[in-house]
Amino acid sequence: MKQRRVAQIIRAWAAPSQIALACVLTAAQPMATPTARADQIDAGAMPPVAREAAVAALFDKAVQSPPQLRMFLHEMPKGGDLHNHLGGNVYAEDYLRWAAADGLCADATGLVPPPCAPGHSIQAIIDHQPQAYGRLVDAFSMRGWQSVGRDAVSGHDHFFATFDKFSPAARGHIVDELVLSRRSAADDRLSYLELDYNPRALDEFAMAAADQPLDEAGLAARYAQELPGIAQVVTRGIAQLAAAEAQAAQQLNCAAPVPEPACFVRVHYIAYALRALPPAAVFRQLMLGFALVQQDPRFVGVNIVQPEDWPVPLRDYDLHMAMFRFLAGKYPGVHRSLHAGELTLGLVPPQDLRDHIAKAITVAGAQRIGHGADIAYEEDGAKTMARMAREGIAVEVNLSSNDQILGVKGADHPLQLYRHFGVPFVLCTDDQGVARSDMTNEYVRASREQGLRYADLKAAARASLEYSFMPGASLWASHRLGVAAGACAQSLASAECHRFALGSEKASAQIALEQQFASFEKNQIAGEED
């Protein structure tokens, strides 16, 4: 019988279930002694526990076939992507399309402004030179490295070099980047994005910072010196984003009676500082970021980015952590998510692996850790992970970029170590355009390489909203995913729960995710019955 595998995991559930929501953080186990034939199953009448178990069985079947697993996971609701750089989110083909429209040219160094030598315009390359076009795609992403370049250049160097190569094509296309990011999120069944993004006004002001000496003792004086100029820059940045978002909404036709699905993707932003800049410029960027988050609710946190292993970021790491600590004292409500531990043995000397994650938490007050790949090399790694578990400090897991940049994947990846210590985790794309990935692929890798099953992935999707910086109270009680709190404890459909959700963006998004999971699971079971 076609439905036998589903029927095998269904117990008698004729009595009404008292459980409104259920989720386990470990893999769902098959349920024994079937009492209902699969062709008699009404997925809409099944209690949530039985429905999830039935879909978990379908997942276990799909995981044996990568194409079937891809199809299954593409349709699965995935919540949010909390580690997503806006520029790196765009695929090379889109950058080249924009470069052609802007009349840019290509030479041996990359993209250059016109006039173009004969045959060297991007449009001419698109139209007549498919091999040259392919080389540009490879240069702008990890595609060529995956195919033929592993022995020619390190994944680390190729990955980070792409940003300078495609940046000329990105200029003036923030609206297009926002549109593409929301469309790709909607297609990938994501309902929320936290995008690493700085308005142009902030970056221009920060880059103009004089390369003057700055140490921890001088932070207070530099803060007082810089503060008068911050407000005007932040105001300009807010206006720039408002204009870009309005144009993006217009392109997406969000005011139409039936808007694009992308219009329903919630978006917030994380301001950032570039850790390879001189200290005065880094501090100015962080000041701008903290002030921006305080003034504009679209911005929900501050981060620090760029390769952690470059000489300047290694030299200034402690100073950067002190900057975060100082500014957190001035802006105590601002969330912090720090790239930390994006390192591995051999990339840097052993002494540089000892404490970056610990310092990001204990000194800078990080509330999430981006990457965290070198935790096993830290001197107090067990203590750090115990604290992360205790305080609900999630790790942002980027399986594709950790593989491509660090060569860390499979059993060598610390995801299972974090899970062993009870550290919450979320799956993220990092730079999906550069990595030639998407969130569905990250879920596929989590399943095939890390052994995560359906219940684990469902918990990860829930965690992506729980540990987001989205404003408002959580639906869940004390991070207990699947256990609704307060007004929603009895039913998500109650009037009390509805009123609660109206006052909390986070809870509203979480309830919507539960509804999406219920629909997904019913459809999966119904599809198996057809």
Instruction: List, by residue range, all CATH 3.20.20.140 domains of the chain.
Output: 174-452
Residue 453 confidence (pLDDT): 98
pLDDT at 46: 79
pLDDT at residue 307, as a whole number:
97
Among 4-18, 431-445, 451-465, 471-485, where is mean pLDDT lowest?
4-18
pLDDT tens-place string over residues 390-411: 999 999 999 999 999 999 999 9
Chain segment 128-155, per-residue pLDDT in tens: 999 999 999 999 999 977 555 555 678 9
Q: What is the pLDDT of residue 147?
A: 52
Q: For position 145, what pLDDT does the model report? A: 74
* pLDDT score, position 153: 75
- The pLDDT value recorded for residue 34 is 30
Give the mean pLDDT of the chain: 90
Position 530 scores a pLDDT of 58
Distance from C-alpha of 426 to C-alpha of 397, rounded to nearest angstrom: 6
pLDDT greater than 50 at residue 227: yes
pLDDT computed for residue 9 by the predictor? 39
pLDDT for residue 159: 93
Q: What is the mean pLDDT of residues 374-402?
A: 98
Is pTM beyond 0.85? Reply is yes
Residue 316, pLDDT above cutoff 70: yes
Confidence band for 108, pLDDT divided at 50, 70 and 90: confident
Burial 479-508 (b: 16+ CB within 10 A, else e): eebbebeebbeeebeeeebeebbeebbbbb
Q: What is the DSSP string of 216-261?
A: GGGHHHHHHHHHHHHHHHHHHHHHHHHHHHHHHHHHTTTTSSS--G
For the segment 109-120, the average pLDDT, to the nearest whole number, is: 94
Give the β-pairing of 335-340 and 299-305: parallel
For residue range 25-72, list pLDDT tens digits in order: 222 222 222 333 333 345 556 788 999 999 999 999 999 999 999 999
Q: Which amino acid is at 136?
A: L
CB proximity list for 352: less than 8 A, separation 6 or greater: 309, 314, 343
> Which pLDDT value is given to residue 212?
81
Q: What topology is assigned to 174-452 in CATH?
A: TIM Barrel (3.20.20)
